Amino acid sequence: MHWEFFKYKKCQRGLLASLLLVVCLWGLPVDQLMITTSNSLEKRVYFLLPPKDLTVGDFVLFSLENTPYEAMIPTKNNSTETLHLTKKIACMAPSQVQYKAGHYYCDGFLMTHDFLNPTKGAVGTTHQLQPGEYFVLGDHPRSLDSRIFKTISRQQIRSKAVGLW
């Protein structure tokens, strides 16, 4: 089978719907399943678990509700529904996040570039992460993540998202 076939959105939606049907028939808890079409995630289907024992590299589902950045999340038809984001933990306490010359580092290791504003912070800024504080990144270079809204707290995290497909 040629893999170019799976690039078409209509086919992707059909495959996701089929997967959801299989999950329902197997009796798996649908409320713990997340299906996404976001370009900022490496997988499309995630299983949601309680947010325990979080480590760097884990994906988390969180809310920016009641923060200054809440208005940055797009809604459909002026919905009042709380929208959640899913991003990968890139750095956490007791590590240090440093921004220098358009690059973000965690304890000296390069995490990502700042594609949105590569000239800001040329002098360099450093932030010591406190317990329960996380720096999260999406996989897409222009992802809405900690490069924009800074760190998130443990209280904002709703679930740990484990990629299935």
Give the tens place of pLDDT for each residue, 111-160: 887 766 655 544 578 999 999 999 999 877 778 888 888 899 999 999 99
Q: What is the pLDDT of residue 132?
A: 95
> Which CATH number belongs to the domain containing residue 144 in this structure?
2.10.109.10
Quick check: is 122 in a domain? yes
Quick check: is 85 in a domain? yes
Cβ atoms of residues 112 and 90 within 8 Å: yes
pLDDT band at 6 (very low <50, low <70, confident <90, very high): very low
Which has more confidence, 138 or 44?
138
Quick check: is 104 in a domain? yes
Of 101, 92, 102, nearest to 151 (Cα)? 92
Q: What is the largest CA-CA distance in the chain?
A: 56
Quick check: is 65 in a domain? yes
Q: What is the pLDDT of residue 48?
A: 87
Q: What is the pLDDT of residue 157?
A: 95
Quick check: is 49 in a domain? yes
* Torsion over CA: 83, 24, 43, 163 (sign): positive
Residue identified by tokens 């484990």 is: 162
* Torsion over CA: 72, 73, 78, 83 (sign): negative
Which has more confidence, 155 or 12?
155
Quick check: is 29 in a domain? no
Say what percent of the chain tops pLDDT 70: 65
Quick check: is 2 in a domain? no
**pLDDT over 70 at 67, yes or no:** yes
Q: What is the pLDDT of residue 85?
A: 86
Query: Residue 105 is part of which domain span?
Result: 38-163
Q: How many domains does one find in the chain?
A: 1
Quick check: is 139 in a domain? yes
Q: What is the pLDDT of residue 24?
A: 61
Which has more confidence, 51 or 70?
51
Cβ atoms of residues 100 and 124 within 8 Å: yes
